[in-house]
């Protein structure tokens, strides 16, 4: 690993430990030339996942889009940042466990809604109202009745 400070091509690992709930490895490294220390993360490279949008356009999977949707749904809700991150991790795990090269955005949306329903019902309804494009109050009420009946 190249030193980010002096550019020397060889550094040594001082410490390694699991990070991100075991999904990556955090390594503390030291440069023998300049003596500076830095941290690197090693993560399993997954196959590129393509999301098929409603208009049949295809784009590469982007975790940040799921994060922003979940964060927007949970805005001003009593849900900790840690719980939100765990939920996003579960969503991503479910998506990649399908082992598909392409996945419709509708499948991604359904997975997000399943996880949000477990996390916070208000966040679920917020997300569903945008995702399912509720046209009027009656559609909104139908979704609320489904939740109340469960």
pLDDT in tens, 81-98: 999 999 999 999 999 888
Q: What is the mean pLDDT of residues 98-119?
A: 93
Tell me the C-alpha to C-alpha distance, in Å, between residue 131 and each of 51, 70, 112.
15, 12, 10
pLDDT in tens, 120-144: 989 988 898 887 777 777 777 787 7
pTM: 0.65
**For residue 81, what pLDDT is reported?**
92
Measured between alpha carbons, how far is 5 from 15 in angstroms, rounded to an integer? 19
Q: Which two tokens stand for residue 104?
A: 């419709």
Residue 58, beta-bridge partner list: 52
Give backbone dihedrals phi and psi of 42, rounded to 5 degrees, phi first: -110, 125
Give backbone dihedrals phi and psi of 71, rounded to 5 degrees, phi first: -60, -40
Q: Is the pLDDT of residue 8 over 90?
A: yes
């Amino acid at each position: 690993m190249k030193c980010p400070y002096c550019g020397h091509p060889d550094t040594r690992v001082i410490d390694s430990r699991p990070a991100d709930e075991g999904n990556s490895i955090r390594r503390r490294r030291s440069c023998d030339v300049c003596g500076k220390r830095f941290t690197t993360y090693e993560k399993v490279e997954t196959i590129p996942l393509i999301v098929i949008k409603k208009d049949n356009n295809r784009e590469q999977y982007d975790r940040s889009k799921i994060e922003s949707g979940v964060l927007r749904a949970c805005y001003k809700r009593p849900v900790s940042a840690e719980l939100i991150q765990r939920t996003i991790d579960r969503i991503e795990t479910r998506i990649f466990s399908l082992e598909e090269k392409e996945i419709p955005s509708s499948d991604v949306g359904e997975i997000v809604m399943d996880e949000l329903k477990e996390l916070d019902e208000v966040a679920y309804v917020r997300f569903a109202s945008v995702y399912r494009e509720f046209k009027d109050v009656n559609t909104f009420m139908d979704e609320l009745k489904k939740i109340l009946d469960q």
